[in-house]
């Protein structure tokens, strides 16, 4: 992040885990990736804002409420996220502003996401590290199964396609330059050629549509 001025974050697949998301989020970046399938739901806290109680769990990259039914069964129901908040300039913090449905009226609750607080960053005994809760592993900035995630994650497929075209354009699918400066120049030339080709095709198609 420090060596990529203007970089807003990273698109990746499920191989990116909480330890990586924590570093990027602390640097002020966004991470859009698939939640690791092996993560089991983890109990977080129980809110008692009045005469009601809401049992909150971390599951599938976001906060869920455990709902108890009359037949004795339970279900984890996603809690609506109204806003992703970013705070700080040097020390970056990320929050989900939740709107928890309730028979007495909805409750607003703010939950930190994407970073795991370490010993000394919170009052004694209250940091995620001391509690044994890897927050960055279980709570994403932009969780799966949300419209925002679906709109943004498609960019990864476009990147994969571009990488495949770069490989195919090289002799024996190997870089033909040595050293970082030369490889950067080669990649820049490829990107400029791709952008120029895309612009020419787009202009041609637009002109055809206008004439027909």
Q: What is the pLDDT of residues 152-185, one digit of tens each?
A: 888 887 777 778 888 888 888 888 889 999 988 9
- pLDDT, tens digit, 9 for 90 and up, residues 18-72: 999 999 999 999 999 999 888 899 999 999 998 899 999 999 999 999 999 999 9
Contact residues for 122 (Cβ-Cβ < 8 A; gap 6+): 128, 130
The predicted model gives 109-138 an average pLDDT of 94
The closest alpha carbon to 145, from 133, 134, 153, 137, belongs to: 153
Calculate the average pLDDT of the chain. Answer: 90
Q: DSSP assignment, residue 27?
A: T
Domain extent listing, the chain: 37-141, 149-211
Q: Of the ranges 19-28, 75-84, 126-135, 168-177, which one carries the lowest mean pLDDT score?
A: 168-177
206 pLDDT higher than 90: no
Between residues 2 and 62, the one the model is more confident about: 62
- CA-to-CA distance for 96 and 104, rounded, in angstroms? 22
Residue 24's closest CA among 92, 82, 71?
Answer: 92
Residues of the chain above pLDDT 70, percent? 98
Band of the pLDDT at 102, cuts 50, 70, 90?
very high
How many Cα atoms sit within 13 Å of 102 on the Cβ side?
A: 18
The pTM for the full model equals 0.78
């Amino acid at each position: 992040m420090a060596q990529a001025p203007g970089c807003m974050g990273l698109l990746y697949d499920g191989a990116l885990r909480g330890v990586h998301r924590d570093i990027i989020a602390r640097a002020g970046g966004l991470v859009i990736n698939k939640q690791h399938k092996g993560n089991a739901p983890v109990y977080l806290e129980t809110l008692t804002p009045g005469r009601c109680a809401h049992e909150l769990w971390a599951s599938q990259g976001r906060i869920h409420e455990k709902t108890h039914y009359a037949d004795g069964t339970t279900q984890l129901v996603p809690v609506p996220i109204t806003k992703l908040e970013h705070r700080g300039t040097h020390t970056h913090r990320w929050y989900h502003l939740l709107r928890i449905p309730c028979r007495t009226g909805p409750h607003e609750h703010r939950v930190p996401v994407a970073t795991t607080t370490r010993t000394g960053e919170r009052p004694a005994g209250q940091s995620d590290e001391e509690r044994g809760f890897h927050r960055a592993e279980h709570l994403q900035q932009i969780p799966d199964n949300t419209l925002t995630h679906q709109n943004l994650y498609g960019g990864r497929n476009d990147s994969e396609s571009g990488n495949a075209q770069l490989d195919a354009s090289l002799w024996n699918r190997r870089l033909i330059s040595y050293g970082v400066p030369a490889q950067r120049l080669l990649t820049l030339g490829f990107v400029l050629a791709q952008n120029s080709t895309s612009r020419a095709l787009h202009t041609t198609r637009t002109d055809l549509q206008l004439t027909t």
